[in-house]
Amino acid sequence: MAGSQKKVVLRRFSPGLLWGYLPTSGFAHAGFLDLLDLSGRIQSIPLSDVKYAAFVRDFNTNDTSAPERLLRKTFLARPRTEGLWLRLTLRDGDRMEGMASLDLTLADGWVEDMGVQLVPPDIRGNTQRLYVPRAAIDQMEVLAVVTSPSKRKTSTPMPSEETQQPDLFSMPLPPDSRTH
């Protein structure tokens, strides 16, 4: 488990929450997730038991019902951040939406971590990012590909000199014009 460790609240399908630390990627190995718990021990949790792992700002260990404070699981309107807008239906019927990156890190997540990493709808809440293992996903829908308008502009070639509009001020002035 090399690299920096981030705070995580791990929600399982079976009752019970786990608090601990995970690296940002590369934490799933052979169907297990290696969680560094608060006492400093590594726990191997089967990915089939994991509903999601919420990368959080604060642990909120005194809140045993919703320490990740993931209050809004769907977007109220079209998201503004760039990425792949996904809707996931989990094995227990729970639905959640999020933004996945629109580059190779999405593919790396499927290969290295055996799941998808999302930015949740409410980025001002306690949950900064979600990891949902493939074993927890029943359905996945791509709702939209969100890009910035400035990146979609294509450059148009400059017209040749013959097709350009003639310069309006290049005509010679009559001799009686006042130039001084």
- Domain of 15 in residue numbering reads as 5-56+70-149
**Is 37 within the bounds of a domain?**
yes
What's the pLDDT at 111? Answer: 79
What's the pLDDT at 162? Answer: 65
What's the pLDDT at 88? Answer: 95
SS3 state of residue 105:
helix
Residue-wise burial string across 123-147, b where 16 or more C-beta atoms lie within 10 A, e elsewhere: eebbbebbbbbebbbeeeeeeeeee
Tokens encoding 2: 């090399």
pTM of the entire predicted model: 0.76
What's the pLDDT at 13? Answer: 92
**Is 125 within the bounds of a domain?**
yes
**Is 123 within the bounds of a domain?**
yes
**Is 95 within the bounds of a domain?**
yes
**Is 134 within the bounds of a domain?**
yes
What's the pLDDT at 20? Answer: 94
**Is 86 within the bounds of a domain?**
yes
| Ordered per-residue pLDDT tens for the chain, 180 residues | 456 889 999 999 988 899 999 998 888 888 899 999 999 999 999 999 999 999 999 988 777 777 887 878 888 888 888 899 999 999 999 999 999 988 887 877 777 888 999 999 987 888 999 999 999 999 999 999 998 776 655 666 666 666 666 666 666 777 776 655
What's the pLDDT at 142? Answer: 92
Q: Could you give the number of structural domains in the chain?
A: 1
In contact, 17 and 10? CB cutoff 8 Å: yes
What's the pLDDT at 1? Answer: 45
**Is 122 within the bounds of a domain?**
yes
**Is 46 within the bounds of a domain?**
yes
